[in-house]
Amino acid sequence: MDKIEHIGIAVKDLEASNKLYEKLLGKPHYKIEEVLSEGVKTSFFEVGPNKIELLEATNVDSPIAKFIEKRGEGVHHIAFAVDNIEAEMDRLEKEGFILLNKTPKQGADNKLVAFVHPKTAGGVLVELCQENNNKQ
Protein backbone atom coordinates (compact mmCIF):
# COMPACT_ATOMS: atom_id res chain seq x y z
CA MET A 1 0.00 0.00 0.00
CA ASP A 2 1.12 3.52 -0.65
CA LYS A 3 0.24 6.66 1.23
CA ILE A 4 -2.89 7.35 3.20
CA GLU A 5 -5.13 8.70 0.47
CA HIS A 6 -7.80 10.08 2.76
CA ILE A 7 -9.49 9.79 6.11
CA GLY A 8 -13.26 9.39 6.01
CA ILE A 9 -15.28 11.14 8.71
CA ALA A 10 -18.97 10.46 9.32
CA VAL A 11 -21.00 13.61 9.89
CA LYS A 12 -24.66 14.33 10.55
CA ASP A 13 -24.88 17.61 8.69
CA LEU A 14 -22.53 18.09 5.77
CA GLU A 15 -23.15 21.81 5.50
CA ALA A 16 -22.37 22.46 9.17
CA SER A 17 -19.35 20.15 9.06
CA ASN A 18 -18.01 21.82 5.93
CA LYS A 19 -17.97 25.10 7.85
CA LEU A 20 -16.32 23.46 10.86
CA TYR A 21 -13.58 21.81 8.77
CA GLU A 22 -13.07 24.95 6.75
CA LYS A 23 -12.24 26.72 10.01
CA LEU A 24 -10.17 23.84 11.31
CA LEU A 25 -8.07 23.35 8.17
CA GLY A 26 -7.99 26.99 7.11
CA LYS A 27 -9.27 26.24 3.61
CA PRO A 28 -12.54 25.43 1.91
CA HIS A 29 -13.59 22.03 0.57
CA TYR A 30 -12.84 21.64 -3.13
CA LYS A 31 -15.68 19.39 -4.13
CA ILE A 32 -18.95 17.80 -3.13
CA GLU A 33 -20.05 14.53 -4.64
CA GLU A 34 -22.97 12.21 -4.09
CA VAL A 35 -22.39 8.44 -4.33
CA LEU A 36 -25.83 7.01 -4.92
CA SER A 37 -24.80 3.36 -4.53
CA GLU A 38 -23.47 4.05 -1.02
CA GLY A 39 -26.23 6.42 0.05
CA VAL A 40 -23.76 9.19 0.89
CA LYS A 41 -22.96 12.76 0.06
CA THR A 42 -19.26 13.51 0.41
CA SER A 43 -17.10 16.58 0.51
CA PHE A 44 -13.35 16.70 0.13
CA PHE A 45 -10.61 18.84 1.64
CA GLU A 46 -6.98 18.73 0.60
CA VAL A 47 -4.36 18.57 3.34
CA GLY A 48 -0.93 18.27 1.77
CA PRO A 49 -0.73 14.94 -0.07
CA ASN A 50 -3.78 13.61 1.78
CA LYS A 51 -7.48 14.35 1.89
CA ILE A 52 -10.27 14.53 4.38
CA GLU A 53 -13.56 13.06 3.16
CA LEU A 54 -16.67 14.09 5.06
CA LEU A 55 -19.59 11.68 4.64
CA GLU A 56 -23.24 12.42 5.25
CA ALA A 57 -25.95 9.77 4.88
CA THR A 58 -28.56 10.46 2.21
CA ASN A 59 -30.95 7.75 3.42
CA VAL A 60 -31.61 5.77 6.61
CA ASP A 61 -30.14 2.55 5.18
CA SER A 62 -26.84 4.19 4.38
CA PRO A 63 -23.82 2.64 6.16
CA ILE A 64 -23.07 6.15 7.42
CA ALA A 65 -26.52 6.46 9.02
CA LYS A 66 -25.96 3.14 10.78
CA PHE A 67 -22.48 4.14 11.90
CA ILE A 68 -23.68 7.43 13.40
CA GLU A 69 -26.57 5.69 15.12
CA LYS A 70 -24.17 3.29 16.82
CA ARG A 71 -21.10 5.41 17.42
CA GLY A 72 -21.93 9.02 16.70
CA GLU A 73 -19.99 11.33 14.44
CA GLY A 74 -16.28 10.77 13.98
CA VAL A 75 -13.57 8.91 12.08
CA HIS A 76 -15.23 6.29 9.90
CA HIS A 77 -12.45 4.84 7.77
CA ILE A 78 -8.86 5.20 6.64
CA ALA A 79 -8.19 4.89 2.93
CA PHE A 80 -4.90 3.74 1.46
CA ALA A 81 -3.88 4.38 -2.12
CA VAL A 82 -2.97 1.25 -4.08
CA ASP A 83 -1.70 0.77 -7.62
CA ASN A 84 -3.43 -2.52 -8.30
CA ILE A 85 -6.54 -2.91 -6.21
CA GLU A 86 -7.31 -6.47 -7.34
CA ALA A 87 -3.82 -7.71 -6.49
CA GLU A 88 -4.02 -6.00 -3.10
CA MET A 89 -7.46 -7.53 -2.41
CA ASP A 90 -6.06 -10.98 -3.25
CA ARG A 91 -3.08 -10.43 -1.00
CA LEU A 92 -5.24 -9.34 1.94
CA GLU A 93 -7.64 -12.25 1.53
CA LYS A 94 -4.73 -14.66 1.59
CA GLU A 95 -3.56 -12.96 4.80
CA GLY A 96 -6.95 -13.72 6.34
CA PHE A 97 -8.62 -10.33 6.10
CA ILE A 98 -12.31 -10.28 5.24
CA LEU A 99 -13.24 -7.97 2.41
CA LEU A 100 -16.65 -6.33 2.43
CA ASN A 101 -16.87 -6.43 -1.35
CA LYS A 102 -15.52 -9.18 -3.55
CA THR A 103 -14.84 -6.97 -6.53
CA PRO A 104 -13.74 -3.31 -6.64
CA LYS A 105 -16.59 -0.84 -6.87
CA GLN A 106 -16.94 2.72 -8.04
CA GLY A 107 -16.38 5.14 -5.16
CA ALA A 108 -16.28 8.90 -4.82
CA ASP A 109 -13.54 11.02 -6.39
CA ASN A 110 -13.18 8.79 -9.47
CA LYS A 111 -11.72 5.89 -7.50
CA LEU A 112 -12.16 2.15 -7.52
CA VAL A 113 -12.59 1.10 -3.93
CA ALA A 114 -12.80 -1.95 -1.69
CA PHE A 115 -13.29 -2.20 2.06
CA VAL A 116 -11.71 -4.48 4.66
CA HIS A 117 -13.97 -5.58 7.50
CA PRO A 118 -13.04 -3.73 10.70
CA LYS A 119 -13.44 -6.96 12.68
CA THR A 120 -10.39 -8.34 10.91
CA ALA A 121 -8.42 -5.07 10.90
CA GLY A 122 -8.20 -4.17 14.56
CA GLY A 123 -11.48 -2.29 14.67
CA VAL A 124 -10.61 0.03 11.79
CA LEU A 125 -12.58 0.13 8.57
CA VAL A 126 -9.88 0.15 5.89
CA GLU A 127 -10.54 1.34 2.35
CA LEU A 128 -8.30 0.53 -0.58
CA CYS A 129 -8.53 2.98 -3.41
CA GLN A 130 -7.09 3.05 -6.86
CA GLU A 131 -7.28 5.89 -9.33
CA ASN A 132 -9.90 4.91 -11.91
CA ASN A 133 -8.40 5.42 -15.34
CA ASN A 134 -11.58 4.68 -17.25
CA LYS A 135 -13.39 7.97 -17.36
CA GLN A 136 -17.02 7.47 -16.39
Q: From the CB of 73, what's the least distance to Zn ion, in Å?
A: 16
Total binding residues for Zn ion by CB under 5 A? 4
CB atoms within 10 A of CB 32: 15
Closer to Zn ion by CB, 9 or 96: give it: 9
Segment contacting Zn ion by CB under 5 A, of 17-25, 65-73, 95-103, 122-130 = 122-130
Using CB under 5 A, pick the residue from 10, 40, 57, 79 that binds Zn ion: 79
Closer to Zn ion by CB, 96 or 123: give it: 123
What is the SS3 assignment for the chain? CCCEEEEEEEECCHHHHHHHHHHHHCCCCCEEEEEHHHCEEEEEEEECCEEEEEEEECCCCCHHHHHHHHHCCEEEEEEEECCCHHHHHHHHHHCCCCECCCCCEECCCCEEEEEECHHHCCCCCEEEEEECCCCC
Using CB under 5 A, pick the residue from 8, 39, 63, 104 that binds Zn ion: 8
Q: Report which residue's Cβ sits closest to Zn ion.
A: 8
Closer to Zn ion by CB, 52 or 120: give it: 52
The footprint of Zn ion on residues 35-64 (CB under 5 A) is 53
Segment contacting Zn ion by CB under 5 A, of 32-40, 43-51, 97-105, 123-131 = 123-131
Residues found near Zn ion in the complex (CB under 5 A): 8, 53, 79, 127
